[in-house]
Amino acid sequence: MSAPLNDLMMNYPLTLTHFFERSRRLFAKKTIATRVPGRPLFRYTYADFAERTMRLAGLLRELGIKKGDRVATLAWNSHRHLEVYWAAPLSGAVLHTLNFRLSAQDLTYIINHAEDSVIFADASVYPMLAAIRDKIPTVKQIVCMKDTVDAAVPDGLPEYEALLARAAPLDRWPQLDETDALGMCYTSGTTGHPKGVVYTHRGIFLHCMAQAAADTMALSENDVILHVVPMFHANAWCVPYGGVMTGATQIFAGPNIQPKDICEIVQAEKVSFVGAVPTVWIAIKELVEKDGFDISSIRCIPIGGSAAPRSLIEAFDKKFNATMMHAWGMTEMSPIGTLARLKSYMRDWAEDDQYAVRAKQGYAVAGVDLRIVNDEGVEQPWDGKSMGEIQVRGPWVLKSYYNNAAAADRFTGDGWFRTGDVAVIDPDGYIQITDRTKDLIKSGGEWISSIDVESMIMGHPKVLEAAVIAVPHPKWVERPLACVVPKPGVTVEAAEIVDFLRDKLARWALPDEVVFIDAVPKTSVGKFDKKVLRERFKNWQPKS
Ligand code: AMP
């Protein structure tokens, strides 16, 4: 009998501990920085980062954080946030990034559902927690991080730097398993509560490797990254993990970054890699055109979260010499799924055809399996015409939502995740999103549940029916338009509807405009047929 052949390679766990330790030794001299409003960038080295992260891990132990405990953040992008990003999962805890743009109701739900133990909160967003402090009983400690130089520490909270200065560093990381939970993010649903996605070390490890692949984003030690995507949005698209893995120079946006700050930092620091949602780039385009910043150091702008207009991609190439790369993904996919890179044989295609390809959402990155399936469950051909829901699977795609049996219908019997995005795939494998089965509006990168808004409107005593749809918007990409049917014989003003919603919704989720219609169109089974309304208002010109 011959000797066994299989399984003769090491079963080395794919945990982020490896990246951290490697980076600590190899890139000690490299820089990490944070924008501090009104001051020069705060800068320190990877060696400082590593030393402070080990001390933070010591602090977490002193705070009683054990394996699997949830360590949350409610914070802007900063080097402190990066320290929590690494110290929590490497000590065996689970990083939970909270979105401070959510309503108090959703934030309370999420903290309780995740059972967060400790929250590291920036002083400027802490008031959101203060308002719900008595409704989040699992939270034993809130640590305040000063996000501006003159920030006051509220409510006698312990302050991050003071705690860190006193903490004894952890001397060695615990041995982790690659399937251990690393972090979690909640994502908005059409109905019901936000759903938790839990990332594993293995998934994020492989995702980082994929981000560094030449045919993906080629993230490398040479890059100067500016982190604009909020660190609560799908782990800032995983770039703070990939950034440390590669040893890239990293600059964090700090509180409330504006397009002008972005342009100034890009120009001064020769930023080469900066991702953001289309809304941010639309504003930057106007500014660069007006004020003439030089942003040509940028070699890659991953743009996604919503569809990037072709005109934007073209303008950044031709006017600013900065390459945009249209990408598609989701919180549930860590987040990368596809990327619109031209293939070598397309380089001599006509310019128009090349831009047509780059305006699509791209083809699947290595590691992601993708198919489109129609309403009858039949897989559709890649002919650029047949439409279907995108279904995906892969090592960084979620297998199940956290503690949420009701969301089981998002997975197929044969092991695929149903994304809720509808697309066609061309014969070259490039997907083009054409619709969404999930009834959500994405405005400036933030979700609005149209179902939530319309059911609130239908709670108005003068309203019979209401449907809320997304209409195109030049700045926010999409905005909600409320289509309202008043009760018979009743008159109601648009302002009355908006005022009625004001204390129920986050400010940016309020519809800017209300149109009155005779009836909401219905499908054969009596459901609201929003396709008809979307078609009717597709050329809607927003007033603001
Ligand atoms: P999130 O989990 O909040 O990042 O949202 C993911 C969703 O955003 C996807 O399921 C899509 O509906 C949408 N999305 C992301 N990237 C794109 C893109 N490039 N084009 C169109 N929609 C996108």
Q: Buried (b) or exposed (e) across 100-131, using 16+ Cβ within 10 A?
A: bbbeeebbbbbbebbebbbbbbbbbbbebbee
pLDDT confidence of residue 327: 97
The predicted-structure confidence for 301-346, as pLDDT tens digits, reads as follows 999 988 888 989 999 999 999 999 999 999 999 999 999 999 999 9
Task: Compute, in angstroms, the gap from residue 413 CA to the centroid of ligand 1.
Answer: 24
C-alpha to C-alpha distances, 208 to 228, 329, 484, 497, nearest whole angstrom: 18, 14, 46, 46
pLDDT confidence of residue 527: 66
CB-ligand 1 contact for 421 (6 Å cutoff): yes
Task: Compute, in angstroms, the gap from residue 363 CA to the centroid of ligand 1.
Answer: 15
Mutate to test the pocket of ligand 1, among 185, 433, 443, 448 (most ligand atoms within 8 A of CB): 433
CB-ligand 1 contact for 417 (6 Å cutoff): no
The predicted-structure confidence for 442-486, as pLDDT tens digits, reads as follows 888 888 888 788 878 988 999 888 899 999 998 898 999 999 999
- Which positions are annotated as active-site residues? 187, 332, 442, 447
pLDDT confidence of residue 341: 97
pLDDT confidence of residue 430: 98
Task: Compute, in angstroms, the gap from residue 306 CA to the centroid of ligand 1.
Answer: 5
pLDDT confidence of residue 95: 98
pLDDT confidence of residue 468: 92
CB-ligand 1 contact for 326 (6 Å cutoff): yes
pLDDT confidence of residue 295: 98
Q: Residue 375 region, left (φ>0) first, then alpha (ψ -120 to 50), else beta?
A: alpha
Q: Which long-range contacts (CB under 8 A, 24 or more apart) does 408-417 make?
A: 412/373, 416/369, 416/371, 416/391, 416/392, 417/332, 417/333, 417/391, 417/392, 417/393
Distance separating alpha carbons of residues 377 and 382, to the nearest angstrom: 16
Mutate to test the pocket of ligand 1, among 232, 336, 442, 478 (most ligand atoms within 8 A of CB): 442
Mutate to test the pocket of ligand 1, among 280, 330, 435 (most ligand atoms within 8 A of CB): 330
pLDDT confidence of residue 297: 98
* pTM exceeds 0.85: yes
Residue nearest to atom 9 of ligand 1 (CA): 330
Tokens 């002008």 -> residue: 260
Task: Compute, in angstroms, the gap from residue 234 CA to the centroid of ligand 1.
Answer: 11
Residue nearest to atom 23 of ligand 1 (CA): 306
The answer to whether residues 271 and 263 touch, using CB atoms and an 8 Å cutoff, is: no
- Residue 271 has phi, psi (to 5 degrees) of -60, 135
Going along the chain from its start, the domains and CATH numbers come out as 40-216 (3.40.50.12780), 367-436 (2.30.38.10), 441-536 (3.30.300.30)
pLDDT confidence of residue 193: 84
* Ranges in the chain, pLDDT < 50: none
**DSSP structural state of residue 125:** T
